[in-house]
Copies of this chain bind each other. A is one copy, B any other.
């Protein structure tokens, strides 16, 4: 009776704490309900010994306690020293006793400074589990990994894990403005409450740090790349310092965006010329000022001479001059400069996709060693699908870091369920052939291809002050997946999806399998209903919400969708082949030839590289027009199937999150049809052909779709 009543009460508490589930992300620590698993855990995990006394170690201990009490209903005995067996021994290498240190020597040789070891060992015939690393943050990573083992109901017997992150800088880029609006933010507004900082520490800052630490993220750029110089004034640096103090024990460094014209705007100088001694001095002093407050400050992220941002070119200098000047300023303190390669000139009539390569590739080898060039995954701008950026592999002497966009600027905001790790994986697995077969983007990014020491992956955050952090419950998976891939760019997105589902919702196999498949499928779905067959950037203007293939009146030609799809009576697509803009030539010859040849160009990239006749025969025998229309329809069908899958998941999910996802999928379905109908009606004007039979007929006119306006769409920067 008592135990029954306990279960009953527990359910009720869970019920009223439903909003909390949304908030807790993948750290739900759900009760282990499988009795075999629970019993294995209870018999193998009987004590906890925590060695060391740093704030980080205290956090690791608290996390273990929370995990155990939530998942297993009790906390193993906390011991001050190793006594008996089946203990979890938690501490950094220097805090382990000689016997254990010895036992793990070969494991320590395998890991880097941030890597951890989780190992079952036997000492004096007593079984123990050690969670360790070379410092306390590494130990914390190990603890989170260990808890993930419990969360995913894996065995804790014979553990033998030695895992290190493959990149140095695993970082979120927040495009957060000082007024708390977030450029391309769809999950509310900025977490950073500048007005109440530095004296009010919002619990969310702590939860943010904890959550990021759980997936190994070790850096955060607090401010928008379209930067405001005020962040570098003492009034704001005091606030940044407060955040850095919160994040530090979680192993997270703070970075800021540097507005290139800051010496003028807040420093009263007349110029921001990077070769001007006063300017150089100003940045050196500013850096010293920052490091005095924040000794482990990470460095600067810079968007310069791009989309109206000031930069070295305003003074007849180039990106190398600008980046190196800043690099010199932070070098004495161990800081880095992340310099973005996202540039395209309003004065260059050439193919926008070529411009970043054209401008940056010749700089290879010219940057200081604490500069890393941040390159978007594709040459245009975070589209549902892009071929990998040609700079990857093309700058052997320059560290390049990947810039992914976690926030769904072009992929349905926080309304559409799109599992982005599938997209990220596609990019990372792409073979650049720059050092022969197998020269994948992942190898460029983790530095193994050219032995770069400085490596990194950045993700434009999808995090806001929505109660569930990311707007869409499944957008949490994109934050999670980004972190996991930043740690290990070779991880399979299916593995990530499964980990996330188990940690976030349920370990029930009947739930996992179909919902995982749904997640994996979701990325191809969004490509199909938005931009199939290599189409790109046909979103509506400014806010990028919904279709706008007809838009042709913007001041810069390369902002117009018509620039990208080039639909006409003869066909559709952007000819980037040798006979076109020859963008293909920016890739290694093997890749260039593949893309250049209409026969070998993957159909998923077809209209990216070729202007193709409406009657062109696709591999499935369909004409291009019919094939395009059927792809749009397939996207809609896929969303419908996602709805079916989710509806069957109801019994495995709390009602609040179930309903949220259900409502969002309904909107996604509606909007997938909107995309299909608007695009096909528009393109039909050029093809002059009927829709194939299996494509549903539009229920609105093209004029209707063109008339839609969204004056307050969020995130419009």
Q: Are A204 and B467 in contact (CB under 8 A)?
A: yes
Is residue A670 contacting chain B, with contact meaning CB distance below 8 A? Answer: yes
Contacts of A73 in B (CB 8 A): 5, 9
Q: How long is the Cα–Cα vector from A207 to B670 in the complex, in angstroms?
A: 27
Q: Are B195 and A713 in contact (CB under 8 A)?
A: yes
Smallest distance from the beta carbon of A8 to chain B beta carbons, Å? 8
Q: How long is the Cα–Cα vector from A431 to B17 in the complex, in angstroms?
A: 46
Smallest distance from the beta carbon of A658 to chain B beta carbons, Å? 12
Contacts of A13 in B (CB 8 A): 10, 13, 17, 70
A203-B656, A667-B200 known; A714 vs B189 contact (CB < 8 Å) = no
Q: How long is the Cα–Cα vector from A204 to B656 in the complex, in angstroms?
A: 11
Q: Are B70 and A16 in contact (CB under 8 A)?
A: yes
Contacts of A349 in B (CB 8 A): none
| CB within 8 Å of B: which A170-192 residues | 178-180, 186, 188-189
- A663 CB contact (under 8 Å) in B199, B204, B230: B199
Q: Are A201 and B465 in contact (CB under 8 A)?
A: no
| CB within 8 Å of B: which A469-519 residues | none
Q: How long is the Cα–Cα vector from A179 to B5 in the complex, in angstroms?
A: 48
Interface string of A1-18 (1 = CB under 8 A from B): 011011001101101111
| CB within 8 Å of B: which A406-431 residues | 413, 415
Interface string of A84-99 (1 = CB under 8 A from B): 0000000000000000
Interface centre among A194, A467, A660 (most CB of B within 10 A): A467
When C-beta atoms are compared, the residue in chain B nearest to A178 turns out to be B712
Q: Are A19 and B23 in contact (CB under 8 A)?
A: yes
| CB within 8 Å of B: which A1-59 residues | 2-3, 5-6, 9-10, 12-13, 15-20, 22-24, 29
Is residue A436 contacting chain B, with contact meaning CB distance below 8 A? Answer: no
Smallest distance from the beta carbon of A619 to chain B beta carbons, Å? 38
* Copies of this chain present: 2
Is residue A66 contacting chain B, with contact meaning CB distance below 8 A? Answer: yes
A20-B17, A70-B12 known; A199 vs B667 contact (CB < 8 Å) = yes
Q: Are B6 and A711 in contact (CB under 8 A)?
A: no
Contacts of A24 in B (CB 8 A): 16
Is residue A196 contacting chain B, with contact meaning CB distance below 8 A? Answer: yes
Smallest distance from the beta carbon of A131 to chain B beta carbons, Å? 21
When C-beta atoms are compared, the residue in chain B nearest to A70 turns out to be B16
A69-B12, A204-B467, A663-B201 known; A179 vs B712 contact (CB < 8 Å) = yes
Is residue A466 contacting chain B, with contact meaning CB distance below 8 A? Answer: yes
Smallest distance from the beta carbon of A271 to chain B beta carbons, Å? 24
A178-B711, A178-B712, A195-B413 known; A19 vs B660 contact (CB < 8 Å) = no
- A16 CB contact (under 8 Å) in B66, B199, B714: B66
Is residue A346 contacting chain B, with contact meaning CB distance below 8 A? Answer: no
Q: How long is the Cα–Cα vector from A74 to B6 in the complex, in angstroms?
A: 10
Is residue A664 contacting chain B, with contact meaning CB distance below 8 A? Answer: yes
Is residue A603 contacting chain B, with contact meaning CB distance below 8 A? Answer: no
- A200 CB contact (under 8 Å) in B9, B415, B712: B415
A19-B23, A20-B17, A70-B12 known; A712 vs B201 contact (CB < 8 Å) = no
Is residue A666 contacting chain B, with contact meaning CB distance below 8 A? Answer: yes
| CB within 8 Å of B: which A676-717 residues | 710-714
Q: How long is the Cα–Cα vector from A415 to B196 in the complex, in angstroms?
A: 8
| CB within 8 Å of B: which A181-239 residues | 186, 188-189, 194-196, 199-201, 203-204, 207, 230
Contacts of A195 in B (CB 8 A): 186, 413, 710, 712-714
Q: How long is the Cα–Cα vector from A330 to B467 in the complex, in angstroms?
A: 37
Contacts of A74 in B (CB 8 A): 5
Q: How long is the Cα–Cα vector from A178 to B713 in the complex, in angstroms?
A: 9
- A667 CB contact (under 8 Å) in B3, B194, B196, B413: B196
Q: How long is the Cα–Cα vector from A74 to B413 in the complex, in angstroms?
A: 43
Q: How long is the Cα–Cα vector from A468 to B239 in the complex, in angstroms?
A: 22
Contacts of A2 in B (CB 8 A): 2-3, 6
Contacts of A666 in B (CB 8 A): 199
Contacts of A467 in B (CB 8 A): 23, 203-204, 465, 467
Contacts of A203 in B (CB 8 A): 18-19, 22, 467, 656, 660
- A465 CB contact (under 8 Å) in B5, B465, B710: B465
Contacts of A22 in B (CB 8 A): 203
Q: How long is the Cα–Cα vector from A196 to B714 in the complex, in angstroms?
A: 10
A2-B2, A70-B16, A465-B466 known; A189 vs B200 contact (CB < 8 Å) = no
Smallest distance from the beta carbon of A640 to chain B beta carbons, Å? 16
A189-B188, A465-B465 known; A200 vs B664 contact (CB < 8 Å) = yes
Q: How long is the Cα–Cα vector from A186 to B710 in the complex, in angstroms?
A: 26
Contacts of A20 in B (CB 8 A): 17, 19-20, 23
Smallest distance from the beta carbon of A130 to chain B beta carbons, Å? 26
| CB within 8 Å of B: which A446-473 residues | 465-467
When C-beta atoms are compared, the residue in chain B nearest to A196 turns out to be B415
Q: Are B670 and A199 in contact (CB under 8 A)?
A: yes
Smallest distance from the beta carbon of A273 to chain B beta carbons, Å? 26
Interface string of A583-613 (1 = CB under 8 A from B): 0000000000000000000000000000000
Q: How long is the Cα–Cα vector from A3 to B9 in the complex, in angstroms?
A: 13
Q: How long is the Cα–Cα vector from A200 to B199 in the complex, in angstroms?
A: 36
Smallest distance from the beta carbon of A485 to chain B beta carbons, Å? 28
Smallest distance from the beta carbon of A381 to chain B beta carbons, Å? 21
Smallest distance from the beta carbon of A214 to chain B beta carbons, Å? 15
Smallest distance from the beta carbon of A642 to chain B beta carbons, Å? 16
Q: How long is the Cα–Cα vector from A144 to B413 in the complex, in angstroms?
A: 39
Q: How long is the Cα–Cα vector from A204 to B188 in the complex, in angstroms?
A: 13
Interface centre among A2, A413, A710, A711 (most CB of B within 10 A): A711
> What 6 A-B pairs are tightest by C-beta distance, nearest first?
A12-B69, A178-B712, A20-B20, A199-B667, A189-B189, A179-B712
Sample of 12 A–B contacts (CB below 8 Å): A2-B2, A15-B66, A16-B24, A18-B203, A20-B23, A22-B203, A189-B189, A195-B413, A195-B710, A199-B667, A200-B663, A204-B467
**A18-B203, A20-B23, A200-B660 provided; 14 other pairs, C-beta below 8 A?**
A2-B6, A5-B73, A13-B17, A13-B70, A17-B20, A19-B203, A178-B712, A188-B465, A189-B465, A195-B712, A196-B667, A199-B667, A200-B667, A203-B660
Interface residues, chain A, CB within 8 Å of chain B?
2-3, 5-6, 9-10, 12-13, 15-20, 22-24, 29, 66, 69-70, 73-74, 178-180, 186, 188-189, 194-196, 199-201, 203-204, 207, 230, 413, 415, 465-467, 656, 660, 663-664, 666-667, 670, 710-714
